[in-house]
């Protein structure tokens, strides 16, 4: 019997302006657009998974992480590259973590958060 634990999953992000989102996810983040589908749905390949970006009247209403990328030791370089492209990283002082150059650090674990143009929270970590 097949179960969900055997199936791949994809993240989905709702946006209000698909053209603005396409510029952000393609150009700013540098994701590979795999499909520019019907109804304005964009499908990006990220590692071995997919990120679907779709138009919705409810874009940006999620107040929690929408997507997380496991960046490993590349997190500093990725954050520096995105900062160079104008991405503004969030600072959450209530976490009590050390914070420098857009990255929160607790022991050996590093995390960074930023928002897309609709306010969707995107998360990078060093796992």
Q: Are residues 69 and 119 in the same domain?
A: yes
Distances (CA, A) of 124 to 33, 55, 77, 108: 20, 23, 12, 14
Residue 39 has pLDDT above 90, yes or no: no
Half-sphere exposure of 80 (CA within 13 A, CB side): 5
Q: What is the mean pLDDT of residues 95-119?
A: 95
Q: What is the pTM of this model?
A: 0.91
Residue 91 scores a pLDDT above 70: yes
3-class secondary-structure state, position 95 = helix
Model confidence at 1: pLDDT above 70: no
Q: Which residue has the tokens 């900062």?
A: 83
Q: Which residue has the tokens 């055997």?
A: 6
Residue 15: give its domain's CATH number: 3.10.180.10
Instruction: Provide the domain limits for residue 120.
Output: 64-127
Instruction: Based on the fold, state whether residues 50 and 109 are members of the same structural domain.
Output: no
Q: Is the domain of 91 the same as that of 109? A: yes
- Cα-Cα-Cα-Cα dihedral of 10, 13, 18, 21, to 10°? -100
Question: How many domains, in total, are found in the chain?
Answer: 2
The rounded distance, in Å, linking the Cα atoms of 88 and 84 is 10
Quote the pLDDT of residue 74: 95
Is 90 exceeded by the pLDDT of residue 101? yes
pLDDT at 114 over 80: yes
Q: Are residues 122 and 76 in the same domain?
A: yes
pLDDT of 79 higher than 70:
yes
Query: Would 90 be classed as within a structural domain?
Result: yes
- Same structural domain for residues 69 and 114? yes
């Amino acid at each position: 019997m097949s179960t969900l634990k055997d199936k791949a999953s994809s993240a989905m992000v709702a946006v209000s302006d698909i053209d603005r989102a396409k510029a952000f996810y393609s150009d700013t983040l540098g994701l590979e657009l795999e499909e520019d589908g019907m109804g304005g749905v964009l499908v990006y390949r990220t590692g071995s998974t997919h990120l679907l970006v779709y138009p919705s009247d409810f874009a940006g209403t999620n107040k929690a992480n929408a997507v997380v990328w496991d960046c490993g030791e590349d997190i500093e370089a990725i954050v520096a590259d995105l900062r160079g492209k104008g991405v503004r990283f969030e600072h959450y002082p209530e976490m009590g973590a050390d914070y420098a150059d857009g990255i929160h650090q607790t022991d050996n674990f590093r995390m960074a958060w930023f928002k897309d143009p609709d306010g969707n929270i995107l998360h990078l970590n060093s796992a």
